[in-house]
């Protein structure tokens, strides 16, 4: 493969504007290893370029971020080996979130736990799942699989689905973690259907929200100013249930007319330094930022 086919994932261009606390964690990243060693899932809906552990290490060195959570993306199906490759390269400062199905054995989950996986991801958004019954059954099944391990269930979905599963989350024995601001649409305002349910779940302590992937909710690059009220509302609801992430390498999983699932989808050119510098805008209090960057990830991922 040539560089003309693969665009490289972005590196930070803007230095930190604030003191990042020791042991800060980027709670949402992906590793795409060499395609020969880590082939993609045939049923994927998009194809990303490579994103190596070395590139991720450079990213976090520039951001002064020590810890990382590597999440298996939909392009690998239930093969978590590329995430594990990234975790092993990082060592004790890495944790993982896996994707499993009913064929995944308890012995495999035991091995994942030993390797540092601490949750499973249910990706309803990329799979285009909007049916409430399907979402409810998939969440309930995920809770059942991880309950005895004290893991969490991470969901990439929409506010409508969050409303549909709210009662299950409130009754769940394990935490739910909602990716990327819960899939809200920044243009629809704080009163948009479902946002109040996300706020209620965060406030209850039963759910965490990842203030990550702002570009997925907002069209106002590069600072995503329209995300400020949402971030502040989520933090105000419960600063002990908010975690931050880059979503590096910023994959483009959208269905684009004329682009086949097997065509390389270029990464979004996000400046993660500028993105991290939004955190003091969202959370002006340094003690709250420490909760978001250090304390909450340490509790959720077992650092």
Query: Using one digit for the tens of pLDDT, what is the confidence trace for 200-221?
Result: 999 999 999 999 999 999 999 8
Looking at the domain assignment, is residue 2 inside a domain? no
Task: Name the token pair of 213.
Answer: 């992937």
- Which tokens sit at 149? 């391990």
| Residue 64, domain extent | 25-301
pLDDT at 7: 67
How many percent of the chain have pLDDT more than 90?
93
* pLDDT tens, position by position, 70-100: 999 999 999 999 999 999 999 999 999 999 9
Q: Is residue 166 one of the residues assigned to a domain?
A: yes
Instruction: Note whether residue 5 is domain-resident.
Output: no
Share of the chain above pLDDT 70, in %: 98
In a domain, 18, yes or no: no
Contacts of 175 (CB under 8 A, 6+ apart): 152, 153, 206, 207, 208, 300
- Which three-class secondary structure string do you get for 153-186? EEEECCHHHHHHHHHHHHHCCCCEEECHHHHCCH
Residue 4 domain-assigned? no
Mean local confidence (pLDDT), 167-174: 98
pLDDT at 212: 96
User: 1 in a domain, yes or no?
Assistant: no
Give whole-number Cα distances, 222 to 45, 53, 247, 274, in Å.
26, 25, 15, 7
The whole-number pLDDT of residue 215 equals: 92
What is the reported pLDDT for 5? 55
Is residue 272 one of the residues assigned to a domain? yes
Whole-structure pTM value: 0.96
| DSSP, res 67 | E
Residue 241 lies in a domain: yes
pLDDT for res 6 = 61
Strand order in the sheet with 117-123: 25-29, 67-71, 94-98, 117-123, 152-156, 176-178, 207-211, 242-244
The secondary structure of 244-284 as a DSSP string is E---BT-------TT--TTSB-PPP---HHHHHTTHHHH--
Give per-residue pLDDT as tens, 43-64. Answer: 999 999 999 999 999 999 999 9
Question: Is pLDDT of 166 > 90?
Answer: yes
Region 16-32 average pLDDT: 98
Number of independent structural domains in the chain: 1
Average pLDDT over residues 108-122: 97
pLDDT higher than 60, residue 4: no
State the average pLDDT for the chain.
95
Question: Looking at residue 184, which CATH number applies to its domain?
Answer: 3.20.20.140
pLDDT in tens, 283-293: 999 999 999 99
Average pLDDT over residues 267-272: 94
188/49 Cα distance (integer angstroms): 32
Q: Each residue of 177-190: pLDDT tens digit?
A: 999 999 999 999 99
Query: Alpha helices of the chain — where are they, by DSSP H?
Result: 53-63, 81-90, 106-115, 132-146, 159-171, 195-204, 214-217, 228-237, 272-276, 279-282, 286-290, 296-301
46: three-class secondary structure by DSSP: coil
């Amino acid at each position: 493969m040539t560089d003309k086919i693969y665009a490289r994932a972005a590196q930070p261009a803007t230095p930190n504007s604030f003191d990042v606390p020791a042991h800060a964690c980027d709670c949402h990243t992906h590793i795409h290893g060499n395609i020969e060693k880590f082939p993609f899932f045939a049923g994927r809906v998009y194809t990303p370029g490579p994103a190596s552990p070395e590139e991720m290490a450079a990213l976090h060195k520039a951001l002064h971020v020590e810890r990382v959570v590597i999440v298996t993306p939909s392009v690998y199906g239930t093969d978590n080996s590329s995430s594990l490759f990234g975790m092993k390269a990082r060592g004790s400062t890495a944790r993982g979130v896996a994707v499993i199905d009913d064929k995944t054995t308890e012995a495999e989950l035991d091995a994942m736990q030993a390797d540092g996986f601490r949750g499973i991801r249910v990706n309803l958004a990329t799979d285009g799942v909007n049916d409430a019954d399907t979402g409810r059954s998939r969440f309930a099944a995920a809770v059942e699989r991880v309950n005895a391990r004290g893991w969490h269930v991470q969901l990439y979905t929409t506010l409508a689905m969050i409303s549909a599963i709210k009662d299950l989350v409130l009754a769940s024995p394990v935490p739910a973690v909602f990716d990327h601001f819960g899939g809200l649409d920044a243009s629809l305002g704080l009163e948009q259907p479902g946002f109040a349910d996300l706020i209620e779940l965060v406030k209850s302590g039963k759910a965490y929200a990842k203030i990550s992937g702002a570009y997925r909710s907002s069209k106002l690059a590069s600072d995503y100013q329209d995300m400020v009220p949402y971030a502040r509302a989520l933090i105000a609801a419960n600063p002990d249930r908010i975690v931050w992430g880059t979503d590096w390498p910023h994959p483009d999983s959208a269905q684009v007319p004329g682009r086949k699932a097997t065509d390389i989808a270029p990464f979004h050119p996000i400046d993660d330094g500028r993105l991290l510098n939004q955190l003091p805008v969202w959370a002006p209090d340094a003690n709250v930022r420490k909760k978001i960057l250090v304390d909450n990830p340490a509790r959720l991922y077992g650092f």
